[in-house]
Amino acid sequence: MRELTRTDSSFRSILQRGSLLAVLALPVLHESTSAQQDTAPTAARELNTPAQNFPPVVSSPVATGSLTQRAIDHEQRIEQYQQTVERLQSEVGPFDQSLIEPLESLTAIFIESENYEDAIALLDQQLQIQRINNGLYTTRQLPVVEAQLRLRAASGDWDKVSDTLQYLSWIYQRDTTLSPEEQLVGLKQLGSWHLTALGQDAREHEAFHLVELRNKEEQARELAEEHYGKTSEALVPFVYDEALADLYIGLAIMLTGETSQDLMLMTEGIRSRSPAGSSVTASRSLTEADIEALYGSRASTVIERSFKNNMSANLTHLKRIREIYSASGNLEAEAMSLMYMGDSTLLRQQYENRPGNFAGVRRGTTTPGPALDYYGEALAMLTTAGLPDSVVAEFTQCPVLLPITVFHDNLQDARPQCEHQQEPPLYDLGVYSLMSTLIPGLEGSPELAEGQLEATLTFTVRSNGQVGNNEILTIEPDNTPNRVRVRKLTELMQFRPALHNGRAARTENVRLRVRMPAAQ
């Protein structure tokens, strides 16, 4: 499984209580930077940390205390803070900075009791105070805005999440006091939020989040170039994340319907369906002749062209990573970049439409094709780098689900999760938590949230990396829509095939457990 980004530690204790806040257990939340903490009031650093001059917000109940007494204490704390806020407002006005600490503590109480509506209202009030006292877009607002994001995500209000992300983006663009490292953290956090939203937000917003993800990754890479230098190995993670963003857009254009149309409009300026008021019937798919009549001949292959353009951009980024490691003389890391280049080539080849009449999936070719050239060069370079043949063979004995969402510059870290059992024959690939069915292989949190399904699958991975002979061993909840969703996933999943002596090999008796959004 991929390495997962840590959820902000200040909210982890709250997450353990479960309920609606389980939505927050996603792999895309970064810890607040130290500069954000330094520029904000002390009590704003963690919403569950009480201000020094006020009663404790979160207290461990005495074992003998009754639920009734705790409820009374809870209401008393709320009343006390509300009285403090009202007194200060009468003395210094509704927008004085001194209101921040009691508002923070009151917010924490509401979060503790899972009263998100009132907590968000108090955060809005804090943000207004910060804007009036410190300016429209300043880093002092970051803890408040990030808390708004988490609570709105927990409440399922993804429309407001999108609006808040836009506002947060403005803060990072307008405030020039952040250091390059802090700006990079902020841009990565924004991108991660957009990636998370792919598995949570409405279908209509998928294209927006994908394009914004790519924009943020591009900005982060450009900033990292200025900060680290264009040939620094520290630049590699930023280049790879931008490569992934291009890959995600390419796959979404090829594999989806409405989202593909939206992406083509946003990235190509063309929509391959009839616009409003057109004489072409909107209820049916457009033929090539329809598209050419509406938009001209250049639109007839827009899906394939756009897919290939994004995949070419992905490969170009990977080639740059190879050049960085080649210049530094890091043979093992250069070999790993070749493996990723092979993966990119394989994904492009296997997700291309295949013309003809087929009973099953119509994509790709029956062989890995040119991807094997990259794999072969990578394996030879690993040997040159001094890695034992047995270690390399162990690395390539199992199929690997693509795309790989973390770049590993060494073989040890890149080893896939795989347990090989001789009798009865079995290749157990472990558990994958897929945050979205939009992009097969895109992993999310390992924590099972509400509205998710869990299934155990067995199948064969062909030498071209596609899946065959798939069977659902277990599924929960077990219903027809969920089974259809899992069947569709297996049709779209793409693996790097096992490599035996440099040749792609068919692997039977593969088992995989997946967690993914359930059918609605």
Note down pLDDT in tens along the chain; length 520 residues: 333 333 333 322 222 222 222 222 222 222 233 333 333 333 333 333 333 333 343 444 444 456 677 777 778 888 888 888 888 888 888 999 899 999 998 999 888 888 989 999 999 999 999 989 988 888 889 999 999 999 998 888 888 998 899 899 888 888 888 899 999 999 999 998 998 888 778 888 899 999 999 999 999 999 999 999 999 999 999 999 999 999 999 999 888 778 888 888 888 776 544 433 333 333 334 444 554 454 444 444 778 888 999 999 999 999 999 999 999 999 999 999 999 999 999 999 999 877 655 444 578 888 999 999 999 999 999 999 999 999 999 999 999 999 999 999 999 999 988 999 888 889 999 998 876 555 665 555 434 345 789 999 999 999 999 999 999 999 999 999 999 989 988 888 999 999 998 899 999 999 999 988 887 6
Report whether 267 contacts 302 (CB < 8 A). no
Tell whether 48 is covered by a domain.
yes
Same domain, 325 and 350: no
Tokens of 135: 């300016």
Same domain, 309 and 425: no
Query: Which phi-psi region, left, alpha or beta, contains residue 465 (left: φ > 0; alpha: ψ -120 to 50)?
Result: left
Same domain, 102 and 241: no
Task: From 145, 177, 209, give the residue that closes a domain.
Answer: 177
Q: Compute φ and ψ for 387, nearest 5 degrees.
A: -80, 135
Q: What is the residue range of 504's domain? A: 346-517
The number of domains in the chain is 3
C-alpha atoms less than 13 angstroms from C-alpha of 436 in its C-beta half-sphere: 23
Residue labelled with tokens 């599924």: 475
Tell whether 183 is covered by a domain.
no
Residue labelled with tokens 């994908």: 210
What is the spatial distance between Cα 345 and Cα 518, in angstroms, rounded to a whole number? 31
What string of DSSP letters covers 345-401?
A: HHHHHHTSB--S--SS--BS-SS-TTHHHHHHHHHHHHHHTT--HHHHHHHHSS-EE
Tell whether 426 is covered by a domain.
yes
Tell whether 334 is covered by a domain.
no
Same domain, 357 and 484: yes
Same domain, 325 and 355: no
What is the spatial distance between Cα 240 and Cα 427, in angstroms, rounded to a whole number? 29
Same domain, 149 and 259: no
Residue labelled with tokens 């207004």: 128
Same domain, 117 and 152: yes
Q: Compute φ and ψ for 286, nearest 5 degrees.
A: -75, 140
Tokens of 251: 């796959």
Tokens of 180: 């390059």
Tokens of 356: 């003809």
Tell whether 416 is covered by a domain.
yes
What's the pTM value of the predicted model, to 2 decimals?
0.78
Report whether 262 contacts 206 (CB < 8 A). yes
Task: From 143, 177, 211, give the residue that closes a domain.
Answer: 177
